[in-house]
């Protein structure tokens, strides 16, 4: 790829094509106009607000042709960019810069917006600040021609807000950070054994009881330490509407996750009738205070189905996403084995056993969501126990469930071969709560060592798939679990800079050699760290944690705070 100047060379994710343009650089100043053609108005508002704050310039509307004394930034649609899959899509864009004009064209409104993110990078790190820092700064954009489009349509990050709650303003901040990296999906893990984070008006105890736990395990579940302060919080329905609207302005889809039938102890603590009361005293349960997988799972009663249908009715009203995640993973079966009611249900339905009962739960909600024009997403366990009913990629004539492959590649390969759409998010590659390096100074080191280079070399499309099967891979997602990342600073440290590497994997086309150039990526990251500094991200520096980021090592507990996994991760 040919680039011009350090700013064009440091673009991240790397664009498809970038070449020097004729003439000199474009100088942005107080006279520069911003012209928005039909379909680009939302991007123009974002650009005026963001660059206006950083530069102090008004960027007033102006007539197109680029010719006032301060030149013009001209935004518009170019439908032919969206004429085909791959390089042509509504997210494709083209930027042409000369000394009089910055011309931005997108295949759709999303393409214009992503182009504006590239323009912000071309202006330098100070463009990522919220107010001018140097009144005498010269805001130059190098003469350049860029053509770009995403490799995948699903470029996501999952944020676990159930284990440790992220307040609304923190979610809005994450949406800005995702947008800055051209990621377009925020998957919110809203419910789990340790907390319920969404207001459901017909079931108020979900936020009165299930949203709070009396104390929290500090570190891995084997740790002897506790944080004795109560923890909790939830999003009101107006909070969610604000989050969804803010995301839509940035062309990001917010996907809610409501766990069934496992990971449900918090909900059962609030409404004991949801659990298996004939196998365990559900009235004695509380929102789970430690980590791991709770044995307390949902009862397969009709009343349980109706309860969660009511929950999902409110979820669908709040989240316009075509996808709704229902978990479907890590569901212990012991209570069902001991429950006469669950055993009677298995017999009534003609199921082979408890594994098929879990699959029956998932298929019920796949049909229910499909009848309402939405698609179920589930972790790769939804393929088990009879799977998705042998229906292939469709359910009643509609697109069928999507499989999120987290236990390596195997689930995604099996799903794609069966014709199901897949999102690749294997734990051993893109779980960003896993440690970034070996060593005792890494804060709360759990999981596999996954360095910046490891994430950069992640390949979402398994080589075992045929070209037709590979088309079933919608994209990839990095997952951020928060059992041991209890503060914003800790989450920042785990996620960055690795999310930048993941963003390039999800956006940028593979080179002809199919081998990404990590050395070149590291060189571009040198410039990107300055952007992260301007954004206030508490990332892990390339030479290791800063003193305040290091893990404290109390005597006698250093080996139990975290859960390092020795040896290489499993293959595939």
- Active site residue: 220, 263, 325, 528, which one? 263
Give how far Cα 334 sits from Cα of 302, 383, 469, Å: 20, 20, 36
Q: For residues 196 and 232, what is the distance between their CA atoms, to the nearest angstrom?
A: 8
Q: For residues 57 and 363, what is the distance between their CA atoms, to the nearest angstrom?
A: 55
Q: For residues 185 and 153, what is the distance between their CA atoms, to the nearest angstrom?
A: 9
| 189 tagged catalytic | no
Q: For residues 412 and 414, what is the distance between their CA atoms, to the nearest angstrom?
A: 5
Q: For residues 123 and 138, what is the distance between their CA atoms, to the nearest angstrom?
A: 10
- Active site residue: 176, 330, 384, 441, which one? 330
**CB burial readout 46-62, b (16+ within 10 A) else e:** bbbebbeebbebebeeb
| 429 tagged catalytic | no
Q: For residues 387 and 331, what is the distance between their CA atoms, to the nearest angstrom?
A: 14
Q: For residues 113 and 179, what is the distance between their CA atoms, to the nearest angstrom?
A: 9
Q: For residues 217 and 287, what is the distance between their CA atoms, to the nearest angstrom?
A: 13
- Give the position of tokens 């170019």: 78
- Active site residue: 192, 239, 259, 354, which one? 192
What are the φ and ψ backbone dihedral angles of 525, each rounded to 5 degrees? Answer: -65, -25
| 263 tagged catalytic | yes
Contacts of 392 (CB under 8 A, 6+ apart): 400, 418, 419, 420
Contacts of 145 (CB under 8 A, 6+ apart): 17, 18, 19, 20, 21, 94, 95, 96, 97
Which residue stretches of 123-257 are H helix?
168-180, 205-208, 237-249
Give the count of alpha carbons within 13 A of 421, CB side only: 18
Give how far Cα 388 sits from Cα of 19, 329, 378, 496, 559, Å: 48, 14, 11, 36, 41
Active-site annotation, residues: 192, 263, 330
């Amino acid at each position: 790829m040919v680039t011009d100047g350090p700013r064009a060379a440091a673009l991240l994710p790397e664009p498809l094509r970038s070449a020097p343009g004729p003439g000199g650089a474009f100088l942005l100043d107080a006279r520069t106009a911003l012209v928005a053609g039909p379909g680009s108005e939302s991007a123009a508002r974002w650009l005026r607000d963001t660059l206006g704050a950083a530069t102090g310039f008004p960027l007033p509307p102006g007539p197109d042709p680029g010719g006032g004394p301060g030149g013009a930034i001209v935004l518009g649609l170019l439908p032919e960019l969206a004429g085909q899959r791959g390089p042509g899509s509504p997210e494709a864009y083209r930027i042409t810069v000369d000394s009089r004009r910055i011309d931005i064209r997108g295949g759709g409104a999303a393409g214009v917006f992503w182009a504006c993110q590239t323009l912000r990078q071309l202006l330098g790190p100070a463009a990522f600040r919220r107010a001018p820092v140097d009144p005498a700064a010269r805001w130059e954009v190098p003469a350049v021609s860029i053509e770009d489009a995403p490799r995948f349509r699903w470029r996501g990050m999952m944020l676990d807000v159930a284990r440790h709650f992220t307040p609304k303003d923190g979610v809005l901040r994450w949406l800005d950070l995702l947008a800055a990296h051209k990621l377009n999906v925020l998957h919110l893990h809203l419910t789990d054994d340790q907390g319920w984070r969404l207001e459901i008006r017909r079931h108020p105890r979900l936020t009165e009881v299930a949203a709070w736990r009396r104390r929290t395990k500090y570190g891995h579940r084997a740790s002897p330490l506790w944080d004795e302060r109560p923890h909790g919080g939830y999003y009101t329905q107006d909070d969610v509407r604000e989050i969804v609207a803010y995301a839509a302005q940035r062309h990001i889809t917010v996907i809610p996750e409501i766990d069934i039938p496992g990971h449900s102890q918090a909900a059962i603590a609030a409404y004991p009738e949801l659990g298996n009361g004939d196998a365990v005293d559900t009235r004695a349960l509380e929102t789970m205070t430690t980590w791991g997988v709770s044995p307390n799972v949902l009862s397969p009663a009709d009343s349980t189905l109706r309860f969660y249908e009511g929950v999902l009715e409110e979820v669908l009203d709040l989240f316009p996403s075509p996808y709704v995640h229902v978990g479907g993973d890590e569901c212990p079966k012991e209570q069902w084995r001991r429950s006469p009611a669950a055993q009677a249900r298995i017999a009534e339905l003609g199921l082979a056993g408890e594994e098929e009962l879990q699959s029956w739960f998932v298929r019920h909600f796949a049909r229910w969501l499909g009848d309402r024009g939405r698609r179920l997403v589930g972790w790769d366990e939804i393929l088990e126990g009879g799977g998705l009913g042998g229906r292939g990629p469709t359910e009643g004539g509609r697109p069928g469930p999507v499989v999120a492959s987290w236990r390596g590649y195997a689930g995604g390969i099996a799903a794609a071969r069966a014709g199901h759409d897949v999102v690749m998010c294997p734990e051993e590659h893109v779980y960003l709560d896993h440690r970034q390096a070996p060593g005792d100074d890494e804060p709360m080191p759990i999981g596999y060592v996954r360095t910046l280079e490891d994430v950069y070399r992640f390949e979402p499309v398994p080589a075992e798939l045929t070209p037709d099967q590979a088309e079933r891979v919608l994209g990839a997602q990095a997952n951020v679990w928060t059992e041991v990342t209890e503060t914003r600073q800790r989450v920042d440290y785990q996620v960055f800079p690795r999310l930048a590497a993941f963003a390039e994997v999800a956006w940028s086309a593979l080179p002809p050699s199919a081998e990404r150039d990590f050395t070149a990526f590291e060189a571009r990251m040198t410039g990107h760290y300055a952007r992260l500094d301007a954004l206030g991200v508490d990332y892990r520096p390339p030479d290791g944690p800063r003193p305040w980021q290091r893990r404290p090592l109390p005597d006698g507990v250093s080996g139990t705070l975290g859960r390092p996994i020795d040896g290489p991760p499993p293959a595939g």
